[in-house]
Amino acid sequence: GAMTEVKREVFGQMPQEEGGGVVEKFILKSDSMKVEILSLGCIIAALETKDRDGEFSDVVLGFDTLEGYMKKHPFFGAVVGRVANRIAKGRFTVDGKEYQLTLNDGPNSLHGGARGFDKVLWSPQVLPNGVCFFRLSPDGEEGYPGDLKVWVTYTLSGGELTINYRAQTSKTTPISLTNHAYFNLAGQGSQDIYNHEISIEADSYLPVDDTKIPTGACWCCSSCPGEVAAVQGTSFDLRWPVDLGKHLQKFHLDGFDHNFCLQQAQARRLVARARHPPTGRAMEVHTTQPGIQFYTGNNLDGSLKGKGAIVYPKHSAFCLETQNWPDAVNKPHFPNALLQPGEEYNHTTWLVFNTA
């Protein structure tokens, strides 16, 4: 296919109290897509894709300036880590030693803590078709053990954006990396996502308690799986496309913020699809990860002014975050959450945009 063009420019300057430093923006452009990525938090700041008439629209939420990203916001477009999603009470035990993380989500630790991977500057390296970001997360950062080297690589080919995550550690540590982009295929700033069709290739999901931690008192053995619930016959059965607005209404749902359990395979597989029939825009998610968090922007409340000073109300975007299962470090029968010294964490997610 045609070549991807990569440009870099200065996006802004970090405030002194955040350590200063220049934030760069990397613009990846193919014939059918344009993606803008920041060296702050590896943030996808814009993603423009064509509708069926060939018109480009930016389909991810975010801000026009660095100032927006420096204020509190719900992880728009960012890579979150060391551990995406929630760890119950911010506590876990590795090799007989208990670790306590910052609590930044009620009683739990969320998305790496108070100053996770989303809030720090990464070192970029331009590639022929993308950009690779590196950082060393020092031993004890946010309470996590071990010096962790992390590489996040974005590459663009035609309508396919590939995100690869790699990491190596000096001490056993939990790790689960994802990108927290908020999508609206009608174009960011559109009022809601009710006219989207969503499907997720999952036979089971994780019910959660009121702090969003997976429930279930029974963790005795692998033959007794605690709460990995079948989607069959429930509002979580998204194996065939549902019209999101009608689906939320039919089941009286406030929205989704749940992990769907994917086939356990290290191979690339199609796991979710979103489609916006009015524009014809469609997005497929392929991944090697064991889970995907489907979130419908329930906590957006219109208080944040995004790009073009447009506000983002509730349900005005969705996230499909490929990751390990929430609180896996504390649930022995969940997929392994620990990275050992001498091993490599390596996961890839592919976002494929087309018109259907």
Decide: 276 and 195 in contact? Cβ < 8 Å: yes
Decide: 151 and 134 in contact? Cβ < 8 Å: yes
Q: How far is Cα 81 from Cα 30, in angstroms, rounded to an integer?
A: 29
Structure tokens at 13: 């300057």
Terminal Cα distance for the chain, rounded: 20
Residue type, 66: L
Q: How far is Cα 124 from Cα 126, in angstroms, rounded to an integer?
A: 7
Structure tokens at 254: 């406030």
Which of 24, 36, 141, 321 does the annotation list as catalytic? 321
Structure tokens at 69: 């990203």
SS (H, E, C) 258-290: EEEECCCCCCCEEEEEEEECCCCEEEEEEECCC
What number of CA atoms fall less than 13 Å from residue 100's CA on the CB side?
A: 2
Pair type for strands 204-205 and 281-287 = unpaired
Q: What is the DSSP string of 5-40?
A: EEEEEEEEE--GGGT--EEEEEEEE-SSEEEEEESB
Q: How many CB atoms lie within 10 A of CB 304?
A: 18
Q: How far is Cα 282 from Cα 340, in angstroms, rounded to an integer?
A: 38
Structure tokens at 9: 């420019």
Q: How far is Cα 77 from Cα 10, in angstroms, rounded to an integer?
A: 18
Which segments are annotated as binding site for beta-D-galactose?
Answer: 85-86, 180-182, 257
Q: Measuring CA to CA, which residue among 286, 283, 259 is closest to residue 271?
A: 286
Please say if 180 is a catalytic residue: yes
Q: Measuring CA to CA, which residue among 61, 51, 49 is closest to residue 158?
A: 49
Which segments are annotated as binding site?
Answer: 85-86, 180-182, 257
Structure tokens at 161: 């954006």
Which of 180, 276, 286, 347 does the annotation list as catalytic? 180
| Catalytic residue IDs | 180, 321
